[in-house]
Structure 1
Amino acid sequence: MITYFESTGQVVPVTVIGFREGNIVTQVKTDATDGYNTVQLGYRRVRDKKLTKPEMGYLEKSGVIPLRHLQEFRLESVEGFEPNQKLELEELFKEGDFVDVSGTTIGKGFQSYLFISVLGF
């Protein structure tokens, strides 16, 4: 989250979404072949040495460059997606679109109380 100030002085909280190198469709699963619709995306390009031989073989079979992370996303329809298709940010989102963002954090327990007690409050 960051704070964005408009020209009128109004404060708008925004979440910045970053796209790293990659974002390539590595596999498309359909109802007919697998029983459900998913698109598998790969992102964050790495050197060949950073991946295992099975990972490299899987990506070479798809004809994709070496990518660190692979993630499947379930969709209603997978029309328009093909293996080795690069996704562009401008094609997916336009200015003013709303997206749901979620994150995970590491549980910190009572860290805030410990910080306060150290300062003597």
Structure 2
Amino acid sequence: MSSKLACALLIFAATIAATSASQAAWAIAQGDDGKPIVSRQYPVEGGARAQALRDCAKYTQNCKIVLADPQGCAALANYGTKSTKWGFGESHTKPRARQSAIASCEAIAGAGQCKVVHEFCGM
């Protein structure tokens, strides 16, 4: 393989890796109605936050960011389909994010009442 081709392939691979990593930021907003709004795959956390707030404001008032991260994992736990009370968890791994979301939800609902209903990683 020629050195020019090897260099081109290396640059291409680095560009792909940088693009994938840079599209990882996410944010979760919540307003008066209690429903979480997730915004994912943004190059920077600020973009994810802004979009989550815009999307939340379409449905309810007094929206605020409850979690945001440039790369980590998140989990959302709830204790019933009609509940507006949610637990949120954030970590660098899904299992730890799940544990945190369950603990956050159970602080509201009581032990054994919650389940994770959505999880993802920005990486």
Indicate the TM-score class for this superposition, using the shorter chain for normalisation: under 0.3
Higher strand proportion, which one?
A: 2
Greater C-alpha Rg: 1
